[in-house]
Amino acid sequence: MESGLGGLLRPVRGALVMAGALQVVSAVAGLVPFLAVAEIGRRLLAGETSELWTVAWWAVGGLLVRLVTMMASTGITHFADARLQDHVRREIARHLGTVPLGWFDARSSGEVKRAAQDDVGALHHLVGHAITDLVAAVVTPVAALVYLFTLDWRLSLLVLGVLPLFLSAYAVMMRGYPEKMAAHTAALGRINSAVVEFVQGIAVVKTFGQARRAHRRFLRATDDFADFFGSWAGSMIRVEAVASALISPAVMVLVVLGGGTWFVAQGWLAPVDVLPFVLLGVGLTGPVLSLGYGANSLRQARDAANRIGTVLAVPPLPITRDQEPQGNHVRFEGVAFSYDGRTEVLSGIDCVLEPGTVTALVGASGSGKSTLAGLVPRFFDATAGSVTIGGADVRSIDPDDLYRRVGFVFQDVRLLRATIRENIALGRPEATDGDVIAVARAAQIHDRITELPDGYDTVVGEGAHLSGGESQRVSIARALLADTPILVLDEATAFADPESEAAIQDALSTLVAGRTLLVIAHRLHTIAGADQILVLDQGRIVERGTHDDLLAAGGRYAAMVATTMEAAR
């Protein structure tokens, strides 16, 4: 795929070219009234009043042409814009559906948000407005100049004389602009973090009597910004004022009239030929600013396109569908995993999850429990070794089949902004109301749902706010309905919400019954009855066995149990 802005714009390139062409016609039609006035002047001064109405109708005709071309180009760009937005957003969504689950974290969701919102917005501005504005800003003065040059090239040059002056002043202004701009962004960033710290930490700051200090830090950041901006803008403002004054309409009027009078006095120009210069010459420099805006939004769109490109460039999870699991036997063989390719989070993992048994993962935080559990539902793919289900490598199983076999329930559940029914029936949209209610009852959440304003049709997050424990139970109901033979579970789920701890626990007990269970354990006593306990340390399995075996062995597991007992006392 073509990279950057060009690639992204390809679906609408034809439309943009067409809109640009129409805009050229429209810009030229915009000059017609000026020409009409010049023509009227010519005829009036020559004493011919007969053809005057014809000229007036030209003006009207120009207006109509502009009306039609503008409507057409506005329509084309806006439809193109709508199509592009839709295309880019769908492309992002389609791609997100294929990247490894491990890619999604706080940082990447920020990236997605920016790509889907701000960056698509920047493209919208470019396609919807900036391109046609840019065309008009170029075509109008160029067409006017061509006309003026055919009338009298000497006066044209004189009128243009201010431009080099303006441009050199502009060049002076722009000297060191990228560096200054970077410093400007950095200073704004410092304000941003100072205010975030000030506001987020305000409870700490106030309760520890540090309000004044943080306040000072914030004010210092803002004053630094003001100083920086002041000296930068201060050095530019004089040049800027001179440059802007040079191309201001007032100066242009003086130049044109002064030059015109001089040329007429010298006999180089017929008096009536001064008119087009007054009419068109004065406005020649106007679009310079529009050009600046246009270039700016082009730059922004390019940056936006690059950011969208980075999201689209995340390598997708390879999917092959050539193996079919025979049964639900899960096996890890020589599995290693590394996030960054250097430090191994897991290494040399060998273990088997027999159907219908419970395997508990135990270990300090950072020991690799969650990573190991995440390999079964393919949050990540192992960097060495293999994870198989029923003899088939998870990487070779059709994802639909894989997820019919593996379900999971984690601690931080966020429900979809959809109705409760849709949330529960996510895995089986065809489920009947009876099915949904049955699992909701089993998950101890049915009664709470019926209390909601619209019952099962309440939209989560809009019609009702569920507590952590309630959301938890909805997600358990969802897992119950999906009814996967293999389940990956974070045991902390059971303690996520002290208010409804007992209810979540009952729901979980129902859910795990009879399944192949892989559980990430935090409170050791809850998994004491597991068929096998794997103790992880720095990515390796250091002990394995039942609770009794491990206690008797007097190793790391026994020590952890002892610490827990101590903490409870």
Partner 1 sequence: MIRQLARVLGAPYAGPLRRHLAGVLAYAVLQGLVFVLLVPVLRPLLRGDTDGAQPWLGVLAVVVLATAVAYWVQAQLGYRLGMALSRALHHRIGDHLAALPLGWFTPARVGRVARMSSTGVVDVMGVPAHLLQPVVTAYVSPAVVVLAMLFVDWRLAVAALITVPLIVLVFRWSARLLAATDVVVDTAGVEASNRIVEFAQQQAVLRAYGRTGEGFAQLDAALTEVDRANRRQLLKGGPGLVASALMVQLSVTVVIVAGVAVAVGTTVDAASLVALLVLTVRFAEPLVAAADLGAALRMARNSLDRMDELLRTPVLPEPSAASSFSSDGSIELDGVTFGYDDRRVLDGLSLTVPAHSMTALVGPSGSGKTTVVRLVARFFDTLEGTVRVGGRDVRDLTTEQLMAQISVVFQDVYLFDASITDNIRAGRAEATDDEVLEAARLARVDEIATRLPDGYDTMVGEGGARLSGGERQRISIARAILKNAPIVLLDEATAALDPDNEAAIGSALAALTADRTLLVIAHRLQTVRSADQIVVLDNGRIAETGTHDQLLAAGGRYAAFWSERTRASGWRLVSGAV
For residue 450, the minimal CB distance to partner 1 (Å) is: 18
Q: Which is nearer to partner 1, 244 or 384 (CB)?
A: 244
Backbone angles phi and psi of 34, in degrees to 5: -65, -45
For residue 334, the minimal CB distance to partner 1 (Å) is: 26
447-486 positions binding partner 1, by CB under 8 A:
467, 475, 478, 482
Residues 6+ apart with CB under 8 A from 451: none
State yes or no: residue 235 binds partner 1 (CB under 8 A).
no
State yes or no: residue 332 binds partner 1 (CB under 8 A).
no
Please name the helix (run of DSSP H) or strand (run of DSSP E) that holds residue 432, with its range, or none. Answer: none
Q: Which is nearer to partner 1, 333 or 516 (CB)?
A: 516
Q: Which is nearer to partner 1, 17 or 204 (CB)?
A: 204
Q: Which is nearer to partner 1, 123 or 449 (CB)?
A: 123
Q: Which is nearer to partner 1, 1 or 567 (CB)?
A: 567
Distance CA 7, CA 350 (A): 46
* Beta strands across the sheet bearing 540-545: 406-409, 486-490, 516-520, 358-362, 532-537, 540-545
Q: Which is nearer to partner 1, 225 or 332 (CB)?
A: 225
Residues 6+ apart with CB under 8 A from 400: none
Both tokens of 390, joined, read: 């029923």
**Total site size for partner 1, rule CB under 8 A:** 170
Both tokens of 269, joined, read: 């120009």
For residue 66, the minimal CB distance to partner 1 (Å) is: 6
State yes or no: residue 19 binds partner 1 (CB under 8 A).
no
Tell me the CA distances in angstroms from 202 to 37, 206, 216, 224, one per residue in order: 66, 6, 13, 22
State yes or no: residue 407 binds partner 1 (CB under 8 A).
yes
Q: Which is nearer to partner 1, 327 or 529 (CB)?
A: 529
Q: Which is nearer to partner 1, 42 or 329 (CB)?
A: 42
3-state class of 529 per DSSP?
coil
Return the residue matching tokens 């034809």: 14
State yes or no: residue 112 binds partner 1 (CB under 8 A).
yes
Distance CA 347, CA 337 (A): 6
Binding partner 1 (rule: CB under 8 A), the pick from 2, 47, 342, 514 is: 47
Q: How many CB atoms lie within 10 A of CB 544?
A: 17
Binding partner 1 (rule: CB under 8 A), the pick from 195, 314, 431, 452 is: 195
Q: Which is nearer to partner 1, 196 or 334 (CB)?
A: 196
Distance CA 203, CA 214 (A): 11
For residue 257, the minimal CB distance to partner 1 (Å) is: 5
Tell me the CA distances in angstroms from 4 to 8, 10, 271, 309, one per residue in order: 6, 10, 53, 6
Return the residue matching tokens 């050539």: 322
Distance CA 536, CA 557 (A): 10
For residue 133, the minimal CB distance to partner 1 (Å) is: 9
Q: Binding string, 284-323, against partner 1, x = CB under 8 A?
A: --x---x---------------------------------
State yes or no: residue 17 binds partner 1 (CB under 8 A).
no
For residue 10, the minimal CB distance to partner 1 (Å) is: 19
361-390 positions binding partner 1, by CB under 8 A:
364-365, 377, 379
Binding partner 1 (rule: CB under 8 A), the pick from 261, 296, 432, 450 is: 261
Q: How far apart are the first and last CA of the chain?
A: 63
Q: Which is nearer to partner 1, 92 or 442 (CB)?
A: 92
131-170 positions binding partner 1, by CB under 8 A:
none
Distance CA 256, CA 278 (A): 6
For residue 453, the minimal CB distance to partner 1 (Å) is: 16
Binding partner 1 (rule: CB under 8 A), the pick from 272, 431, 452, 558 is: 272
Assess contact for 154 and 268: CB atoms under 8 A.
yes
For residue 549, the minimal CB distance to partner 1 (Å) is: 12
Distance CA 479, CA 409 (A): 7
Helix/strand/coil percent split, the chain, to 5 = 65, 10, 25
Binding partner 1 (rule: CB under 8 A), the pick from 20, 141, 260, 539 is: 260
Q: Binding string, 337-356, against partner 1, x = CB under 8 A?
A: --------------------
Please name the helix (run of DSSP H) or strand (run of DSSP E) that holds residue 518, with its range, or none. Answer: strand 516-520
For residue 92, the minimal CB distance to partner 1 (Å) is: 6
Distance CA 415, CA 460 (A): 7
Is residue 557 exposed (0-12), middle (13-18) or buried (19+ Cβ within 10 Å)?
A: buried
Assess contact for 8 and 87: CB atoms under 8 A.
no
Binding partner 1 (rule: CB under 8 A), the pick from 53, 164, 315, 453 is: 53
Q: Which is nearer to partner 1, 348 or 357 (CB)?
A: 357
Distance CA 518, CA 486 (A): 8
Assess contact for 43 and 51: CB atoms under 8 A.
yes
State yes or no: residue 65 binds partner 1 (CB under 8 A).
no
Q: Which is nearer to partner 1, 334 or 364 (CB)?
A: 364
For residue 74, the minimal CB distance to partner 1 (Å) is: 6
Residue span binding partner 1 (CB under 8 A) among the ranges 159-167, 175-183, 187-195, 296-304: 187-195
Binding partner 1 (rule: CB under 8 A), the pick from 3, 150, 192, 432 is: 192
Sign of the torsion formed by the C-alpha atoms of 98, 104, 109 and 114: negative
Assess contact for 376 and 406: CB atoms under 8 A.
yes
Residue span binding partner 1 (CB under 8 A) among the ranges 2-10, 17-25, 148-156, 397-405: 397-405
537-566 positions binding partner 1, by CB under 8 A:
547-548, 560, 563-564, 566
State yes or no: residue 40 binds partner 1 (CB under 8 A).
yes
Please name the helix (run of DSSP H) or strand (run of DSSP E) that holds residue 490, with its range, or none. Answer: strand 486-490
Q: How many CB atoms lie within 10 A of CB 185?
A: 10
For residue 75, the minimal CB distance to partner 1 (Å) is: 6
491-530 positions binding partner 1, by CB under 8 A:
491-492, 494-499, 501-502, 505, 508-509, 512, 517, 519, 522-530
Assess contact for 536 and 367: CB atoms under 8 A.
yes
